[in-house]
Amino acid sequence: MLHAQLEPIYDDIVQRNRGESEFHQAVREVLESVGPVLVKHPEYAEQKVIERICEPERFIVFRVPWEDDRGEVHINRGFRVEFNSALGPYKGGLRFHPSVYQGIVKFLGFEQIFKNALTGLPIGGGKGGADFDPKGRSDREIMRFCQSFMTELYRHVGEHTDVPAGDIGVGGREIGYLFGQYKRITNRYESGVLTGKHLSLGGARVRTEATGYGCAYFVDEMLAARGESFEGKQVVVSGSGNVAIYSIEKVHQLGGTVVACSDSSGYVYDENGIDLDLLKQVKEVERERIGVYADRRGGAKYVQDGSVWDVPCQVAMPSATQNELTGDDAATLIRNGCTAVGEGANMPATPQAIRAFLDAEVAFGPGKAANAGGVATSALEMQQNASRDSWSFEFTEQRLEAIMKDVHARCFATAEEYGMPGNYVAGANIAGFTAVADAMLRLGLV
């Protein structure tokens, strides 16, 4: 439910951003949480902080022409939303996926504002991408696309301005090509302009693993708050990309067993636990479909139709894409004994699913808290770039773990403070919102 004061503001946002359903959804979730904050802090309403925070500082849309291996010309659309820079330079990933349009870019950029604030690090919120489909494209095609994309984007980014990174369809390979083109156009070796770089290009150890590891740490904290742990638990992770793979790795290290994971073609069920070396070979090296995992692993089953959420588990970690876990899926998970959910992806659970989890007192870690480890480690990469330093894996992972414990503690304490103990959605939204709102007020009318 929206606080009465927020109804007209939300209606106006829907009118001004027509057809952008994912953005409406992300805004509504935050506004539903911040009603009690407005009662405590009337200055936010007086200074129209909500209206300002929901309007991007800047939204860039551009043409991306490129040529495939046969010489055919293609035109894609590129985006970058520079949503909020109250706490630091805009920071957030780039997504290359055919579904990308401004509603998706804006929902992701909006979420990023509060996620980045929760890390306690000096980063504002931004996001970008293109409606480019990298599937089936050769390495040279990917390179040409990235070069064309950066030929426009370079005007808008910089280590003190806006620092993109990866997201769906953008990993270390793409970041390398984007950085190469930036360096070539500007004639500057400005490592801090992008994060998620290869180590040899000024990248940080643990950035590849950070989102998945961080999500597992966050779930571990939620379990610990209830006197439990991963030990002996069956876990289902959706997706089999960067976030999913490293969530699986850390869950296994923490004593859980991941029995299923997926991609957009189906899911695999492996009752002995996912073989991570094989999964990495299939997904990271060969860039193959998930069915290939089951072809090579005795005892594993590939299911093309159906939902990965039908697999019984005590912990679920949706790590693929937005709105992939519906109200019906949540009901199935709860019925099967699931007691904890950590969102590795951004907004993977629908509002109906979130409601069902909260009503059933499932420990539910929303993406802006649970998957904050990726962007936090990006901020650590920026620190290393600024000081021309390179930290060890062990030290960087310790920092990541400490940050995730701190994000958990902040969400937990804020939910208690506002009379909603155990509600991490409210805790994350309120703690993230107040940090950004206070900074905006201190900056004057911006």
Ligand X SMILES: NC(=O)C1=CN([C@@H]2O[C@H](COP(=O)(O)OP(=O)(O)OC[C@H]3O[C@@H](n4cnc5c(N)ncnc54)[C@H](OP(=O)(O)O)[C@@H]3O)[C@@H](O)[C@H]2O)C=CC1
Q: How do beta strands 266-269 and 162-165 pair?
A: unpaired
List binders of ligand X among 297-356 (CB under 6 A): 319-321, 344-346
* Helix or strand run (H / E) with residue 342: strand 340-342
In the complex, the smallest distance separating the C-beta of residue 214 from ligand X, rounded to whole angstroms, is 9
For ligand X, the nearest residue by Cβ is 241
Q: Which of 91, 106, 115, 127 is catalytic?
A: 127
For 330, other C-beta atoms within 10 Å of its C-beta total: 27
Which one, 151 or 350, has the nearer CB to ligand X? 350
What part of residues 246-265 is at the interface with ligand X (CB under 6 A)?
Answer: 263-265
> Using CA of residue 100, residue 218, residue 326, residue 269, what is the dihedral sign?
positive
**How many alpha carbons fall within 13 Å on the CB side of residue 195?**
32
Pairing outcome for strands 90-96 and 125-130? parallel
Chain residue whose CB lies nearest ligand AKG: 93
Question: Distances in Å between the alpha carbon of 153 and those of 62, 132, 362?
Answer: 9, 15, 42
- Identify the sign of the CA torsion 7, 12, 13, 15: positive
Among 103, 239, 366, 427, binds ligand X (CB under 6 A): 239
Measure Cα distances from 175 to 149, 199, 370 in Å: 11, 12, 24
CB of 211 to ligand X, least distance (A): 4
Closest separation between CB of residue 247 and ligand AKG, Å?
14
Handedness of CA 326, 55, 407, 5 (dihedral sign): negative
Judged by the rule CB under 6 A, the positions of this chain that interact with ligand AKG are 91-93, 112, 115, 165, 167, 195, 346, 371, 374-375, 378
Pick between residue 115 and residue 144 the one whose CB is nearest to ligand AKG. Answer: 115
In the bound state with ligand X, the residue whose beta carbon lies nearer, of 169 and 176, is 169
* 127 belongs to the catalytic site: yes
Instruction: Name which of 32 and 167 has its Cβ closer to ligand X.
Output: 167
The distance of closest approach from Cβ of residue 203 to ligand AKG in the complex, given in angstroms and rounded to an integer, is 12
The residues of the shown chain that bind ligand X, judged by CB under 6 A, are 166-169, 211, 239-244, 263-265, 319-321, 344-346, 371, 374
- Residues with a catalytic annotation lie at 127
